[in-house]
Chains A and B, each alone.
Chain A
Amino acid sequence: MTIVLNGEPADLAPDATVADVVTSLGHDPSLPGVAVAIDGVVVRRVDWPRTPLADGAVVEVLTAVQGGC
């Protein structure tokens, strides 16, 4: 299965969940500080382990950086 992860194609196992994707980016999915949207819709952190990904999904994984005026 291939998704678009933060703008780049990424190959995943067929049963991969949102939690797996977050882990692959080096973030512990049980901790706050990161948000995920699939096709522009936010997925709540509690739902990450049980949310599967579909082939072709556009996934954005964001965190806080320095910013503001």
Chain B
Amino acid sequence: MADDPFRIAGVELTSRLIMGTGGAPSHEALHEALVASGTQLTTVALRRLDPTAGGSVLDVIRDAGIRVLPNTAGCYTATEAVALARMAREALETDWIKLEVIGDDRTLFPDPVELLDAAETLVDDGFVVLPYCGDDPIIARRLEQIGCAAVMPLGSPIGSGAGIRNPYNLRIIVEQALVPIILDAGIGTASHAALAMELGCDGVLCASAITRAQSPARMARAIAGAVEAGRLARLAGPIPERLYADASSPDYGRPDLT
């Protein structure tokens, strides 16, 4: 929306949906979903170069005209994440990094201690740091204070599709934030994305819910629509929730029909 710009580190994005590329069944399906999502920013991971791999995800992203956001997925320590971020900057010629430092391979929850350490080093090194963090308002605030360009709390575990487990914490994170808050993980379907935006998130990152849906392109459109609808609803100012009814038809002028 022209009257509601979305900016990260001074860069204006026309879509509040950031799409992750993980999990797509093929490059063709990924291209179709990226275009359908309308996203302008999409994540990639870095892995060992395989001479036998056919085609590059970078070609798909370039063809779709989308800005690339490398991540540090798979890192468990600040040392690893910082080294991988520096390799990403070299390979992809971008200072932007989606910082992930995982603490546990079963939950894929972030390790807040390693995350803060890595974020501080990378901010000092000139990176635009977008950290994936838990839904803890204190960690979110600390990440903002050390200079992260956005903060990306999870809704529920990565790939779980369980939506937003703690909307109360998310509301606190949003209320205190001065940088964009982007819901990062746990989206399973369109209503989850709409709720994130209604709670006041500035954007949503979504991969598995789209790429692993039976029809990725269709789900991409659904979630893009939900992000926009949720944002509009947030800006429109919803009515307060109440326990009892509150009639909207006037009480006066009711006829006597007994």
Contact = CB atoms under 8 A, between A and B. Distances in A.
Interface stretch (B136-144, B200-208, B217-225, B243-251): B200-208
A18 to B, nearest CB: 12
A44 B90 contact: yes
A62 B83 contact: no
A25 B53 CA distance: 11
Contacts of B68: 64
Contacts, number: 113
Contact of A40 (B21, B69, B83): B83
A64 B57 contact: yes
A13 interface: no
Nearest to B48: A6
Interface string A48-69: 0000000000001111111111
Given A6-B48, A33-B58, A68 B91 contact: no
A38 to B, nearest CB: 11
B46 A66 contact: no
Interface stretch (B4-12, B22-30, B111-119, B165-173): B22-30
Contacts of A16: none
Most buried by B among A7, A26, A67: A67
Contact of A62 (B49, B132, B185): B49
A67 B44 contact: yes
A63 B56 contact: yes
A62 B56 CA distance: 12
B47 interface: yes
A25 B51 CA distance: 5
B69 to A, nearest CB: 8
A61 B58 contact: no
B57 A42 contact: no
Contacts of B158: 69
B185 A69 contact: yes
Given A33-B91, A35-B46, A61-B49, A69 B205 contact: yes
Interface of A: 6-7, 25-27, 32-37, 40-42, 44-45, 60-69
